[in-house]
Amino acid sequence: MINYEMKYRAFQVRNFREIPQIEALSEEEKQNIEIVGNVFPFKVNNYVIDELIDWDDYLSDPIFRLTFPQKDMLSETDFETMKKALDENVDRKTLKTIADSIREKLNPHPAGQMELNVPKYQGEELHGVQHKYKQTLLFFPSSGQTCHSYCTFCFRWAQFVGMDGLKFAARETEQLLGYLTEHHEVTDLLFTGGDPMIMSFKVFKQYVEPFLDPNNGTNIQTIRIGTKVLGFWPYKFLTDKDAQDFLDLFKKITESGINLTFMAHFNHENELKTDAVKEAVRLIKQTGAQIRTQSPLIKNINDDADMWARMWRKQVNMGMIPYYMFVERDTGARHYFEVPLEKTWEIFQKAYQQVSGICRTVRGPSMSCTPGKVQILGVSEIPINGIFQKVFVLQMLQGRNPDWVNRPFYAKYDPNARWMDDLKPAFGDKFFFEDELEEFYETANYNEEFA
C-alpha cells in the first residue's frame, strides 16, 4: 500500500529515542547507538523505519544494520573512549574533539579524492568537481551534500560529520559550464553527493536547466544522478510537494535529447519490496529516464550470493539495469563491513552464475582506488618459475589513464587481501601502471589544505 499522506521525518542521534519502534531495544542497545552515532553520521527517516525495517527481528535486519550505528563499528578502545566522554557529559566542543580524533584514524579520505581529482578552471580550483576519468565529470552541488538517511558503511561519511575542510562544495554552475565548454571530451555529467535528490525542485532545476539549451557550448550527452532516493525516500516522487515538478523536468530533459540516467544505489532486495519504490521506479521510467543500479558488497548487510541474484532479477523485472558491484572501501568502519577480495569475487561469481544474460550487465567486483576502477576477474593458477601458483587476475574498468583500461594483470594470491594496497604484483616488483601513477602524483595539483 502506498501511504499518500507520507511526510518526511528524520531522526538523528539527538532524537532517535523518539522513534516509537525503538522502545523494543534495551537501554544498553540504545546507548550503543548513541555512542557510535557520535562518531559516524547517523540519520534515519520514517519510511525506512516504518516500511523497510522488520522490527520483530531488528538485530539481524539488513536495513537496521544499514542505517543504525552498530556497536562493533568502533574498536573496543574507541568505543570505551566515546562511552566515557558521554557518561561524563563533557561539553560539545570536547565531544567533537574526541570524535574527530577517532575519525582521523579511520582514513576519512580514501583514494586520493581530494588531492588528485580537483580540476582547474581559469587558474582556480573547481571545488565541488572531480574529474578523474576522461568522459565523466563528478559534480557535487553544495545543496546536495546530505542524504535522506545515512548508510552506516558510507565511504563519504567524513563529509557529513563537519570535519574541517573536508566538505566539497560547489559554488557555481557557471564555473562548471565554463569548464565543460573547454572540455569536450566530457560527455557525462554525474551529479553526486550526498544525494542530489535531497535538493528541492527549485534548486535542482537551476543546476540542470543550462544543459537543456542545445547551444550551451558543452558536449554533455548524458546526465547521471547518483542517488539513494529510491531506496530511502521513494515518496520524493509520490507525495513530496514538488514530486510532479521533478517528473516533468525529467521528461523535459529526455525529450531534449539528453540521456538521463539514475545511478540508483540499492544495497539489499528489501529496498525493492514496497509499493512506494515500485511506483517511484515506474514513474521515473515513464519520463524516459533509465535506471541503473549499483552497490558495494558489505559484510553484515548483503554478503549473500543468493540475495544478490534475487536482487538483480527483481531490479531487471522492475525495468532497471544492474551496473556495478563494488568492493567495500578502505575507510570508516571497514573492519566491520569489509569482505576479503577472494570471498567478494566468489559471491559475485555465485550470484552471476544464477542469472540470465539480461542481468549480466552488472560488472564487478570493482575497487575504486587511486589508479582506477580495478575489477577482480578471479583467482587462477599459472606457472611461475615452473610451479603452478594461485594469482588474482585483475583488470581496470576505468583508469586515470584510459590506456590502462581492459588490460589483464596479475597479483599474488592472498586469501586475506581486502583492498588494492594489500596486493603485490605476481611478476616483477611493480604493477604495469605504477610508474605512470607516480608521475601523476608528482605533477598533480596537490592541495596542501587537504594533505
**Residue 136 or 239 having the CB closest to ligand PLP:** 136
Q: How far is the CB of 133 from ligand PLP (least distance, A)?
A: 5
Phi, psi of 331 (to 5 degrees): -150, 165
Rank residues 61 and 195 by Cβ distance to ligand PLP and give the closer one.
Answer: 195
Regarding 398 and contact with ligand PLP (CB under 6 A), the answer is yes
In whole angstroms, how far apart are CA 172 and each of 126, 141, 249, 356, 375?
9, 9, 21, 44, 35
The C-alpha atoms of residue 419 and residue 253 are separated, in whole angstroms, by: 39
333 counts as binding ligand PLP under rule CB under 6 A: no
349 binds ligand PLP (CB under 6 A): no
User: Residue 329, interface with ligand PLP (CB under 6 A)?
Assistant: no
Instruction: Report H helices in 68-172.
Output: 76-87, 92-104, 113-116
C-alpha cell of residue 65: 544494520
Q: Which residue is nearest to ligand PLP (CB)?
A: 132
Pick one of 43, 65, 127, 132: the residue that binds ligand PLP (CB under 6 A): 132
Least spacing, CB of residue 138 vs ligand PLP, in Å: 5
Q: Which CB atom, from 48 or from 367, has the smaller least distance to ligand PLP?
A: 367
Stretch that binds ligand PLP, among 56-64, 128-136, 314-322, 418-426 (CB under 6 A): 128-136
Q: Looking at beta carbons only, is 53 or 396 nearer to ligand PLP?
A: 396
> Based on CB atoms, which residue is closest to ligand PLP, 118 or 305?
118
Question: Do 50 and 57 meet the contact criterion of CB atoms below 8 Å apart?
Answer: no
- Minimum Å gap between C-beta 211 and ligand PLP is 17
Q: In whole angstroms, what is the distance from residue 108 CA to residue 11 CA?
A: 24
Rounded Cα distance between 107 and 104, Å, is 6
CB 333 within 8 A of CB 103: no
Give the CA distances from residue 13 to residues 69, 100, 173, in Å, rounded to whole numbers and listed in that order.
10, 16, 34
CB closer to ligand PLP out of 265 and 373: 373
For residues 140 and 124, give the distance between their C-alpha atoms in angstroms, rounded to a whole number: 17
Distance CA 146, CA 200 (A): 12
Closest CA to 133 of 396, 429, 443, 407: 396
Shortest separation between residue 367's beta carbon and ligand PLP, angstroms: 10
C-beta closer to ligand PLP: residue 135 or 254: 135
**Rounded to an integer, what distance in angstroms lies between the CA atom of residue 194 and that of residue 150?**
9
Minimum CB distance to ligand PLP, residue 136 (Å): 4
Question: Of residues 67, 81, 130, 261, which one binds ligand PLP by CB under 6 A?
Answer: 130
**Could you tell me the smallest distance in angstroms from the CB atom of residue 366 to ligand PLP?**
8
Number of chain positions touching ligand PLP (CB under 6 A): 10
Count of CB atoms situated within 10 Å of the CB of 6: 18
User: Cβ 358 to ligand PLP, closest distance in Å?
Assistant: 20
Residue 398 Cβ, how far from ligand PLP at the closest point, in Å?
Answer: 5
How far is the C-alpha of 216 from the C-alpha of 176, rounded, in Å? 12
Buried b (16+ CB within 10 A) or exposed e, 23-50: eebeeeeeebbbbbbbbbbbbbbbbbbb
Task: Report the residue number, 34 or 195, with the smaller CB distance to ligand PLP.
Answer: 195
Among 31, 136, 349, 361, binds ligand PLP (CB under 6 A): 136
Do 257 and 226 form a contact (C-beta atoms < 8 A)?
Answer: no
Site mask for ligand PLP (CB under 6 A), range 358-377, x = bound: ----------x----x----
SS3 305: helix
In whole angstroms, the minimum distance from the beta carbon of 25 to ligand PLP comes to 37
Point out which span in 129-137, 150-158, 200-208, 400-408 binds ligand PLP (CB under 6 A). 129-137
Q: Tell me if 133 contacts ligand PLP by CB under 6 A.
A: yes
126-134, 140-148, 308-316, 328-336 -> range binding ligand PLP (CB under 6 A): 126-134
Q: Is 138 in the site for ligand PLP (CB under 6 A)?
A: yes
DSSP state of 405: B
Residues 102, 78 contacting (CB under 8 angstroms):
yes
Binding site for ligand PLP (CB under 6 A): 130, 132-133, 136, 138, 190, 368, 373, 397-398
